[in-house]
Homo-oligomer: A and B are copies of this chain.
Amino acid sequence: MNVAIVGASGAVGQEFLKVLDEQNFPIENLKLFGSHRSKGKDYIFHGKSYTVQELTENSGPEFQDIDFVFTSAGASVSKQYASLITSGGAIMIDNSSAFRMDDDVPLVVPEVNGADCFNAPRNIIANPNCTTIILVVALKPINDLSPIKRVRVATYQAASGAGGAAMDELVEQHRQLSNNETPTVEKFAYQLAYNVIPHIDVFQSNDYTREEMKMFNETRKIMHSPDIRVSATCVRVPVMRSHSEAVWVETESPVSVEAVKEAFSKAHGVKVLDEPLAKRYPMPLELAGKDEVFVGRIRKDLADDNGLNFWLTGDQIKKGAALNAVQIAKYIISHSK
Contacts and interface: CB of A to CB of B under 8 A. Distances in A.
A221 interface: no
Given A196-B283, A284-B196, A303 B230 contact: yes
A171 B229 CA distance: 40
Contacts of A175: 178
Interface string A225-250: 00001110101011110001010101
- How many copies the complex holds: the figure is 2
Given A189-B279, A190-B283, A198 B246 contact: yes
Q: Indicate the member of A189, A239, A281, A302 with the most B CB atoms within 10 Å.
A: A302
Contacts of A284: 194-196
A278 to B, nearest CB: 10
B246 A235 contact: yes
Interface stretch (A46-54, A81-89, A121-129, A149-157): A149-157
Contacts of A334: none
Given A152-B248, A196-B284, 4 more contacts: A154-B154, A198-B297, A207-B276, A237-B237
Interface in A289-308: 296-304, 307
A331 interface: no
A175 B181 CA distance: 13
A43 interface: no
A333 interface: no
A110 interface: no
A277 B250 CA distance: 32
Nearest to A229: B303
A230 B244 CA distance: 21
A276 B204 CA distance: 9
A187 interface: no
Contacts of A171: 178
A206 interface: yes
A203 interface: yes
A304 B203 contact: no
A72 to B, nearest CB: 24
Nearest to A301: B231
A70 interface: no
A190 B286 contact: yes
B237 A156 contact: yes
A126 to B, nearest CB: 22
A282 interface: yes
A115 to B, nearest CB: 28
A142 B57 CA distance: 56
Nearest to A179: B178
Nearest to A149: B303
B299 A208 contact: yes
A311 interface: yes
Given A174-B177, A277-B203, A283-B196, A231 B248 contact: yes
A176 B306 CA distance: 46
A309 interface: yes
